[in-house]
A and B are shown apart, each in its own frame.
Chain A
Amino acid sequence: DAKTTQPNSMESNEEEPVHLPCNHSTISGTDYIHWYRQLPSQGPEYVIHGLTSNVNNRMASLAIAEDRKSSTLILHRATLRDAAVYYCILAMNYGGSQGNLIFGKGTKLSVKP
């Protein structure tokens, strides 16, 4: 299974942008890049996903490197509610449909007021 590498932890100040990096040098041409976050005692929450182009939604932006070997999740203005563990995951593409998600340990984001 394709692997991702993320920093164990990061800190941010409230209302500042946050850039969460992820390396996935073994990504194959059809793997999707997913980001999820998990608050304590809750299930993971979908944030965003993409294949080749940068993606934006109401929660965040996903910037994908041209060679697809890395990506960055961007939270435009961090709030205290964004403090969570963020997982970068590659979803393998089997003939046009996604396979299951293989989680790593993620990045624990702390947000300071």
Chain B
Amino acid sequence: DTGVSQDPRHKITKRGQNVTFRCDPISEHNRLYWYRQTLGQGPEFLTYFQNEAQLEKSRLLSDRFSAERPKGSFSTLEIQRTEQGDSAMYLCASSLVHSGGYGYTFGSGTRLTVV
């Protein structure tokens, strides 16, 4: 297992188009998180799954955003009708649920540019 994989690494899209990103977590990790990061800021939490259940969504996740994790393995994040303000790095992370606390493993991210 080589860690958390995200695809694509870069995406340029025109305003108003839909985009979908994929995240493949570490296989034994049952939690999966999506974050967004703009230049000069720390990552902002969007949503997370435990297995296939979406347990929490941030207020940042507008109705144009939807995330799925259909079989508790990989996840997709879709943005509909993209806007220039959606330009950011989208990061995925995975972890185990563990009573002793557990480090999160992040992917390298998908950089979205909306033109």
Instruction: Please determine whether B108 and A101 come into contact, CB atoms closer than 8 angstroms.
Output: no
B23 to chain A, nearest CB (A): 11
Interface string of A26-46 (1 = CB under 8 A from B): 000000101010000111111
B49 to chain A, nearest CB (A): 11
CB < 8 Å: which of B4, B56, B101, B108 contacts A98?
Answer: B101
B54 to chain A, nearest CB (A): 12
| Number of A interface residues in the complex (CB < 8 A) | 28
Q: With a CB–CB cut-off of 8 A, which chain A residues contact B43?
A: 44, 101, 103
A95 to chain B, nearest CB (A): 9
| Number of B interface residues in the complex (CB < 8 A) | 26
> Which residues of A73-102 have CB atoms within 8 Å of chain B's CB atoms?
85, 87, 91, 93, 96-102
| Given A43-B107, A44-B106, A100-B56, A87-B42 contact (CB < 8 Å) | yes
Question: Quick check: which of B12-20, B71-79, B92-100 contacts chain A, the rest being far away?
Answer: B92-100
Q: List A residues at the B interface (Cβ < 8 Å).
A: 32, 34, 36, 41-46, 48-51, 85, 87, 91, 93, 96-106
